[in-house]
Structure 1
Amino acid sequence: MAIFYFPYLLLLTMFSSYGFADITTSSPLSIRQTLSSPDGTFELGFFNPSSTQNHQYVGIWFKKVTPRVYVWVANRENPVTSSTASLTISSNGSLILLDEKQKLLWSSGEESLTSNQVRAELSDYGNLVLVDNVTGTHLWQSFEHPTDTMLPLSSLMYAIPNNTRRVLTSWKSNTDPSPGEFVAELTPEVPPQGLVRKGSLPYWRSGPWAETRFTGILEMDETYVNPLTMVQDVVNGTGVMTFCALRNFDVSYIKLASDGSLNVRRSNGGNTGWIKHFEGPLSSCDLYGTCGANGMCIRSISSPICKCLKGFVPKSDDEWNSGNWTRGCVRRTELSSSCQGNYSSTTQSKDTTDGFYRVANIKPPDSYELASSGDAEQCRQGCLGNCSCSAFAYIKGIGCLVWKHELLDMVQFTQGGEILFIRLARSELAGSKRIKIISVSAISLCVIIILGLAAFGCWRYRVKQNGQARVAMEVSEDSWKNHLKSQDVSGLNFFEMHTIQNATDNFSISNKLGQGGFGTVYKGKLKDGKEIAIKRLSRSSGEGTEEFMNELKLISKLQHRNLVRLLGYCIEGEEKLLVYEFMVNKSLDSFLFDLKKKLEIGWSKRFNIIQGIARGLVYLHRDSLLRVVHRDLKASNILLDEKMNPKISDFGLARMFQGTQNQDNTGRVFGTLGYMSPEYAWTGTFSEKSDIYSFGVLVLEIITGKEISSFTYGKEDKNLLAYAWESWSETGGVNLLDQDIADSESDLVEAAEVKRCVQIGLLCVQYQAMDRPNIKQVVTMLTSTMDLPKPKQPVFALDTSDEDSLSPKSNDHKDLFSDDENKPAQEKPGSD
């Protein structure tokens, strides 16, 4: 009979060495053994996060998704350093971790039980639970003691009466689970907000909670699927924020990373990897108090910048101008003296009391208070009647919030956000200017009367001259207009101004697509239903007329599928407009640097965009009747059609070469920092290789999804080129691909393609122009499997005080791409 049961006993013994149903006093968990949740989603066991140290930790991780993500760690401060250890149940019912010498390394706490009828089990939600077998009571659970991760149904909380908090604490590093310097918590303010602290100081905050969203997180708009629920009991001083499962995804989590970022990830299991759902902070604007008290950080695609609120000036001009904004701003004019006593709106003149200035698209400042219930007007009157009230906001889902004294940690978005009303002295508001003007006008009236007699003698003479000048101007305008309508711009349509005004709803702001250095672009719709884009030249631009003429003549002669097509133009008085084909998907930067939209352009589309831009440059540099250098190639000047095909746009800075000329020099340098080649930025010399440098930067931006002007990495604040060089040197550049794309397309991305594009990008940003390939060589590299030359380390920074640093070292550089174009041409003075 014993022989009959022996195979089954052997099978049971083998199974117990790999997986457990639960942990009991008689059935501890040892190293190399694991405990799985019933549905196999989660696994508990020992793990070693570092390849350099033999430190074992007890933790929980996702079992079915790679790469592995650890969601809870027990002994994060006391790793196992011996070869054996066990996780078991003590005699008093606690979950304990013992090393080989039976030394206690970790305990769930004293449960004050004498019963040995206690077991530990791992639920399908990833919650490790101590259960009393007799009563079924949960004695302890890991969800109430989180480390750095929240899982669905877990929560953060605070309870003021007993001074308890449930927080997330980051790992010290990616390979060290010990407590790091960042803590994420729910604040007890009313309404609450999420806060990440670095040590004892605020690092990043979410803004106040408004029923279904955090007001300071722009991504939480009406389209956002919010995975959080909030319950706040103001009377009893408690608050709980619970994380719910994301719809249509098998697993998800929130993690506080070792660098202080808060990440929400999701997956459908297996090899699909992890997809980013949310990440914050996104920019330096999001870091707490970037612009100091009463300062506002303008968050945009380009580098963030601080500005003082209206009515405020920098506390230190020298520090502010140098980019040190932390000391913030102070009031230029003190508030009304009526606040010395009780405020009465009936006794104070409107011209002497304070008023409010409206600021839109705002992340509400910190340190707010919830005012009594009422509508927006009652909120305003309440703030005006309280001398300590410095601002108010009436927010949907919250009601009336008021701020007292200084306003801290303000961010202004390009869209979305809340409306904040800042209290200012009446003299700071626009309405007071009329009073000042009337006063000054009255004083000046006497002077005008005296000067009037003297001026009368000159009047007839000036009328005569002005009449002549006006006639001359009208003749000049008509001549220029007629000249443009002649053969120089043949093939283009001339649009009447009323046609453009009707198409754009009289240049309505709702039709505004964007704004550049030389004008604003509007969307329009002609009577036949055709959509167009109109570039309206800025009247204040000193270079505008030249750029307008240049772009009009130049692009009218260029026709290629990867260049935006000019349909016509309009001239009316001072108005000068260019009419283009409308690009449904706008510009590349609107996808590339947007948290949500970047997922719409996976690697295959990005590679197609790189190739399309290169083909457009081949036409400009080689195949068109004119040889053209664009001089302002960047992501915002690459437009995308309905099929996401790229088209190069904005030829206002482009220059033509004729004959054998391949290099020119300009007295004025225009363009965008980061994209400009060293020789153009420092000496004004430009050539086709200047465009190649810009193309290289653009390629690296497309691969990484990071913008050259705002990207920094590591403690040394390495820029994008330095980061790309480091990645290429270490791994060939495959890990440089935008992590969002790499996570969502792990099976679709061609690693060899990515590596090749990284290397091409680095070849294009070589310091010496002669070391860069020409555009035909670039296209060949992109479309073939030929071996590529090895790039040299890009020059990231130069000491311009050293004259030698600005001159090429002939003995240090070898011509990688030898052709006739690399021979320097004699520079000539430019009239640019």
Structure 2
Amino acid sequence: MPFWDASFLTKQTPIFGLHLWVIIAISVGAAIVIILFLLSLFLTFRRSSHKPLKSRLQNITPPISKEILEIASHRSQNSLTEIHVKDQRVDLSDHLRRPPSPSTASGESRSATSDVMISPKMVGGLPEVSHLGWGHWYTLRELEEATARFGDENVIGEGGYGIVYRGVLADNTVVAVKNLLNNRGQAEKEFRVEVEAIGRVRHKNLVRLLGYCAEGAHRMLVYEYVDNGNLDQWLHGDVGDVSLLTWEIRMNIILGTAKGLAYLHEGLEPKVVHRDVKSSNILLDRQWNSKVSDFGLAKLLCSERSYVTTRVMGTFGYVAPEYASTGMLNERSDVYSFGVLIMEIISGRTPADYSRPPGEVSLVEWLKILVGERRSEDVIDPRILEKPPSKSLKRALLVALRCVDPDAVKRPRMGHVIHMLEVEELFREDRKSIV
């Protein structure tokens, strides 16, 4: 008898009279089906637990905050524009390559309640851009095309808040585009609230905010372009031995700047504290009219609060002493910086110049000494060809000294500063202090 006899496979079994080989075949087939079913369940579970890379990247960039979702129901149909996902391509390479290098020149202005509107609708798995309830909304693609993809040749200013580019829109409008630094760290709520407040500001001595771009992680602000540089360039740049800024022009710049700041402090609710008043943030047009820039994304201060405690920001030499030491910010902090600015405009010196002798490093202390020694004429910028009238000089010095009073409570409000600059006669006791 052979070792293997296959005849037993043909024997009938008690199971429905089927042959043994049929029973074995059915069992093997059933086992294969069960194994395939279990394998399918395993793969399905893994696929749901681990999303593909493409899907994960879509969830990471761009982020959308919960605060946007919470106010989605308040959006206005007239103010929103649906945009297909193909128009939301974000190229971060240019911005990642550019280091956030601070500079003394901030360039153009940038700005940061109730009508805020955001559209968080999902299209093709990607969140849409944010829409605020005012002004023009610019796409990232529009601003990239206007600035040659934010090319270095279009940089017109850099500061602690961002890099400013000159741009030309499709309709040939020249604009200044500020790309805010640390965009991912910029609180969405703060951006919305402050842009909403500043976006409605209209004053001839404030740079006008035209619109914004809030797309993915990008936060950009678009302003009118002011084509005659900033005050810092005209005071401290290489402009020759004789300054084009005559005394009359300088006084007009001081008065215009005061009016712009007074509007921020006293003409808005909530009031706006600039907290970085300096010569590079005063832009000039072809008629030498001053326009305060960089006043947005500063700090809003409600009328019921006398101050707000915040991280100290500003430029050395301009910062009020109480703000530098405690972080307590209010409009009197701007008044101090404005007083330093007046001294800078009168003297042509920077607020802090370490190339000078120890007693002359600080502009404020140096000017106080000269005024105390009855040497007011010696503080005038030597590049002014025609010296100012004595009365006008004394008026300007008086206002400057009052603005930099160490006691913040004793500093005048900007409305009072304007009055003092415009009055023809000084009070007798004030005149004596600076004769």
Same fold, TM-score > 0.5, yes or no = yes
Corresponding residue number in structure 1 for 2:257: 613
Partner deviation per Cα, 1:725-779 (whole Å, 9 max, x = no partner): 11211235222110111xx224xx2232122211211111111101211112111
Which residue, 786, 793, 804 being the options, matches 2:426? 786
1:79-132: CA deviation from partner (whole Å, max 9, x where unpaired): xxxxxxxxxxxxxxxxxxxxxxxxxxxxxxxxxxxxxxxxxxxxxxxxxxxxxx
Partner AA of 2:415 in structure 1: K
Alignment-mate amino acid for residue 641 of structure 1? D
> 1:567·1:581 contact (CA, 8 Å) conserved in 2?
yes
Describe the SS at the equivalent of 1:521.
strand
Note the residue ranges of structure 1 that are not aligned, 5 or more in a row: 1-457, 794-832
* Structure 2 contact 133–196 (Cα < 8 Å) conserved: no
**What SS does structure 2 have at the residue aligned with 1:476?**
coil
Tell me how far apart the structure 2 counterparts of residues 461 and 706 of structure 1 sit (CA, whole Å). Answer: 65
Q: Do structure 1's residue 497 and structure 2's residue 140 form an aligned pair?
A: yes
Contact 1:605 1:644 in 2 (8 A): yes
1:661 to 297, 301, 305: 305
Unaligned runs of 5+ in 2: 1-45, 81-114, 117-131
CA distance in 1, matches of 2:401, 2:354: 17
Match of 2:289 in 1: 645
The residue matched to 2:143 in structure 1 has which SS?
Answer: helix
1:477–1:573 CA contact under 8 A, matched in 2: no
| Counterpart residue identity of residue 493, structure 1 | H
Give the corresponding residue for 2:149: 506
State the TM-score, normalizing by the size of structure 2: 0.68
Match for residue 391 of structure 2? Answer: 752
Q: Is residue 51 of structure 2 the alignment partner of residue 463 of structure 1? A: yes
CA distance in 2, matches of 1:572, 1:478: 15
What is the letter of the counterpart of residue 463 of structure 1?
K
Change in 2 beyond 3 A, CA 1:490/1:690: same
Is contact 2:195-2:297 (8 Å) kept? no
Distance in 2 between the 1:470 and 1:609 partners? Answer: 50
Contact 1:703 1:738 in 2 (8 A): yes
- Percent identical pairs in the alignment equals 35
CA, structure 1 residues 732+778, in 2 after alignment: closer, same or farther (shift >3 Å)?
farther
| Cα distance per residue 1:323-359 (max 9 Å; x no partner) | xxxxxxxxxxxxxxxxxxxxxxxxxxxxxxxxxxxxx
Determine the structure 2 residue equivalent to 1:110. Answer: none
1:627 aligns with 2:268: no
Output the CA distance in 1 between the equivalents of 2:197 and 2:153: 30
Amino acid across the alignment from 2:386: E
Equivalences for 1:726-805 in 2 at 5 Å? Answer: 726-731=369-374, 733-741=376-384, 744-746=385-387, 749-784=388-423, 785-787=425-427, 790=430
1:795-829, CA deviations, whole angstroms, 9 ceiling, x for partnerless residues?
xxxxxxxxxxxxxxxxxxxxxxxxxxxxxxxxxxx
Q: Which residue of 2 aligns with 1:573?
A: 216
State which of 716, 722, 746 in structure 1 corresponds to 2:365: 722
Partner of 1:689: 332
Q: CA 1:609–1:750 in structure 2 vs 1: closer, same or farther (change >3 Å)?
A: same
Q: Does 1:526 align with 2:165?
A: no
1:605-664 deviation digits (Å, cap 9, x = unpaired): 110000001111111111224322111111111111221111111134522222332222
**Shift of residue 591, structure 1, vs aligned partner:** 0.9
Question: 2:317·2:362 contact (CA, 8 Å) conserved in 1?
Answer: no
Partners of 1:537 and 1:576 within 8 A in 2: yes
Change (3 A) 1:729 1:702: same
Distance 1:478 1:523, change over 3 A: farther
Aligned amino acid, residue 282 of structure 2? I
Contact kept in structure 1, 2:134 and 2:196, CA below 8 Å: no
CA–CA distance in structure 2, aligned partners of residues 760 and 601 of structure 1: 20
Distance 2:261 2:146 in 1: 32
Deviation by residue 1:479-518 (Cα, 9 ceiling, x = unmatched)? 9497696742433001122221221122121111011112
TM-score (norm 1): 0.37
Superposed displacement of residue 589, structure 1: 0.7
Q: Aligned equivalents of 2:184 and 2:392: distance in 1? A: 43
- In 1, the alpha carbon distance for the partners of 2:152 and 2:53 equals 40
1:818 aligns with none
Structure 1 pair 589–474 and aligned structure 2 pair: CA distance change class (3 A): closer
Amino acid at match of 2:338: F
- 2:235 matched to 1:592? yes
Amino acid at match of 1:786: L
Structure-2 separation of matches of 1:524 and 1:510: 11
Q: Secondary structure at the match of 2:346?
A: helix
Residues 647, 710 of structure 1: alpha-carbon distance in 2 compared, 3 angstrom cutoff:
same
Question: Is the CA contact (8 Å cut-off) linking 1:518 and 1:544 kept in structure 2?
Answer: no
Opposite residue 750 of structure 1, the aligned amino acid is: P
Secondary structure of the residue aligned to 1:693 is: helix
Change in 2 beyond 3 A, CA 1:527/1:635: same
State whether residues 156 and 165 of structure 2, in contact with CA within 8 Å, keep that contact through their aligned partners in structure 1.
Answer: yes
1:535–1:474: structure 2 CA closer, same or farther, 3 Å change rule? closer
Shift of 1:538: 2.2
> How far, CA to CA, are the matches of 1:465 and 1:501 in structure 2?
27
**Distance of aligned partners of 1:664 and 1:604 in 2 relative to their CA distance in 1, 3 Å threshold:** same
Separation in structure 1 between the aligned mates of residue 184 and residue 376 of structure 2, nearest angstrom: 42
Q: How has the CA–CA distance of structure 1 residues 751 and 724 changed in structure 2, closer, same or farther, with 3 Å as cutoff?
A: same
Pairing of 1:352-371 with structure 2 (within 5 A): none
SS of equivalent to 2:308: strand
Q: 1:539 to 1:459 in 2, by over 3 A?
A: farther
Q: Give 1:524's aligned amino acid.
A: G
> Aligned residues, how many?
332
Tell me which of 641, 653, 675 is aligned to 2:318.
675
Q: 1:476 aligns to what?
A: 64
**Structure 2: which amino acid aligns with 1:724?**
L
Deviation of 1:531 (Å): 0.9
- Asked if the contact 1:522–1:534 (Cα under 8 Å) also holds between the matched residues in 2, the reply is yes
Counterpart of 1:453 in structure 2 is none
Deviations along 1:34-89, one digit per CA (max 9) or x if unpaired, are: xxxxxxxxxxxxxxxxxxxxxxxxxxxxxxxxxxxxxxxxxxxxxxxxxxxxxxxx
Any residues of structure 2 matched to 1:319-338 within 5 Å, and which?
none
Q: 1:693 to 1:786 in 2, by over 3 A?
A: same
Question: What secondary structure, in the 3-state scheme, does the structure 2 residue paired with 1:532 have?
Answer: strand
Give the deviation of 1:475 after TM superposition: 7.7
Separation in 2 of the partners of 1:623 and 1:585? Answer: 27
How far, CA to CA, are the matches of 2:205 and 2:152 in structure 1?
29
* TM-fit CA distance, 1:546: 6.7
Tell me which protein shows more strand as a share of its residues.
1
- Partner residue in 2 for 1:538: 181
Q: How does 1:272-283 map to 2 (within 5 A)?
A: none
Q: Map Cα deviations across residues 165-211 of structure 1 (whole Å, 9 max, x no partner).
A: xxxxxxxxxxxxxxxxxxxxxxxxxxxxxxxxxxxxxxxxxxxxxxx
Query: Deviations along 1:530-556, whole A, 9 cap, x unmatched?
Result: 211000122467447676445422311
List per-residue Cα deviations over 1:250-293 (Å, max 9, x = no partner): xxxxxxxxxxxxxxxxxxxxxxxxxxxxxxxxxxxxxxxxxxxx
Of Structure 1 and Structure 2, the greater helix share is in: 2
- The alignment status of 1:563 with 2:206, answered yes or no, reads yes
Letter of the structure 2 residue corresponding to residue 769 of structure 1: A
